[in-house]
A = this chain, B = another copy of it.
Amino acid sequence: MSLVVMKFGGTSVGSIERIKNVARIAVKKKEEGHDVVVVSSAMAGETDRLINLLKEISPKYDLREYDQLVSTGETAAIPLVTQAIKELGHDAISFTGFQIGMITDGAHSKARIVKITAERIFKALKEGKICVVAGFQGIFPETGDITTLGRGGSDTTAVAIAAAINADVCEIYTDVDGVYTADPRIVKNAKKLDRISYEEMLELASLGAKVLQSRSVELGMKYNVPILVLSSIEDKPGTLVVKEDKDMEKVIVSGVTADKNQAKITIVGVPDRPGIAAEIFGKLAEANINVDMIIQNVGLDGKTDLSFTVAKTDLLRAIDACEAVKTSIGASKVVSDENIAKVSIVGVGMKSHAGVAAKMFKLLSENNINIQMISTSEIKISCVIDEKFAELAVRVLHEKFVEEGDNVS
């Protein structure tokens, strides 16, 4: 007997029929003799419906109120899943974030988990119940305010609970049947991976492969929780996310991704003085905006253009923050571009192979794709390009690095 956390995404609970299917999967696991905790997202479309209502009132909404609002999507889903399980003759109980002591910090709309007391989960499991927990949400104990963990945060909820209750595995059920070398809708030769390391999955997740929220992978890595990504529709093996091993290093590029959810901001005519960058990015940090890539080129006139990328959802607030410091730092203007994409190749094998970056730049250039920004890590290379070339870039990179296996120059 093992203890299993099973997370179901919005599509998996997108209709009553789908919810009944989730109940069947959970009950099957229970009948195999396991203790089961289900984590559920909101029904597909519900979160967007709620956000759109709020945006109709104000495009620059209050984030505390946003959290109060969108968390209701998950809270509404869990009693439905619970009732569907009960209909199959098993006892079940639903819990919101605050009911299981999902304690977070107070950073609304992107709160971080501080701890999970999970008392009610332990109690309910002991009583033989299947627990159904609302993903995505927590509580900031100082005020009692509801918080949310950012889009896709239910993955994080699931892995964090798995870590807190020392589960044997965290199964992430989704509408795809595993992690692919590229988005199969873009690349028809994309292959499913049987296993992938936390590090690679982390890069893929943070690069816009929407299979797992990156913070869930970080947590899995930190607490060594095996994460199994699999389909809620078909009964197939899926992809297991685990610690890196020797075999994995033979593959140089495990995945190719494109992320269209970023936007670029350029602050033009920034005086080249110490402390300027600190002032700008301090302001953005205060506004709780994550900055991804940053480029600064010093010009001859002692002025420089500073470019960086942020999530599209943060763009308006990021522009506000930049406009607020523009005058005090003596910059001339703030411009933004939403029509960008970040294409990336990821693989632990890169650590031990040189020349991968050069090959990538050459490939893009051969296809007349201009590179606007570059960012690299030990196991990843990312380029910001014009959004309209995103699919083309993914296809040529996948063909060269994954299909041909031609990984080195």
Contacts and interface: CB of A to CB of B under 8 A. Distances in A.
Interface in A91-111: 93-94, 96, 98-99
Interface in A53-109: 53-54, 56-58, 61-62, 64-66, 68-69, 71-72, 75-76, 78-80, 82-84, 86-87, 93-94, 96, 98-99
Contact of A82 (B50, B65, B86): B65
A65 B58 CA distance: 33
A179 to B, nearest CB: 32
Contact of A87 (B19, B57, B146): B57
Contacts of A19: 57
A57 B13 CA distance: 13
A371 interface: no
Contacts of A64: 93
A54 B83 contact: yes
Interface in A369-394: none
A98 B145 CA distance: 10
A293 B120 CA distance: 41
Interface in A20-61: 20, 50, 53-54, 56-58, 61
A16 interface: yes
A234 B405 CA distance: 72
Interface residues of A, number: 37
A76 B145 CA distance: 14
Of A64, A83, A94, A144, most buried by chain B (CB within 10 Å of CB) is: A83
Contacts of A54: 79-80, 83
A79 B80 CA distance: 23
Contacts of A145: 99
Contacts of A57: 16, 19-20, 80, 83-84, 87
Nearest to A68: B79
Contacts of A146: 96
Q: Copy number in this complex?
A: 2
Contacts of A93: 64
Given A53-B16, A120-B144, A83 B96 contact: no
B72 A86 contact: no
A151 to B, nearest CB: 17
B68 A96 contact: yes
Given A57-B83, A58-B83, A98 B65 contact: no
Contacts of A20: 57
A144 B53 CA distance: 29
Given A96-B68, A99-B144, A144-B120, A61 B83 contact: yes
Interface string A335-361: 000000000000000000000000000
Interface string A288-312: 0000000000000000000000000
A76 B72 contact: yes
Given A57-B84, A58-B86, A75 B79 contact: no
A99 B68 CA distance: 11
A71 B64 CA distance: 19
Nearest to A75: B72
20 contacts: A50-B76, A54-B80, A54-B83, A57-B80, A57-B84, A58-B87, A61-B83, A62-B82, A62-B83, A65-B79, A68-B82, A69-B76, A69-B79, A72-B72, A72-B76, A75-B75, A96-B146, A99-B144, A99-B145, A120-B144
Given A69-B80, A72-B72, A99-B145, 15 more contacts: A19-B57, A20-B57, A57-B80, A57-B83, A57-B87, A58-B87, A61-B83, A62-B83, A65-B83, A66-B79, A68-B75, A72-B76, A75-B75, A98-B98, A98-B144
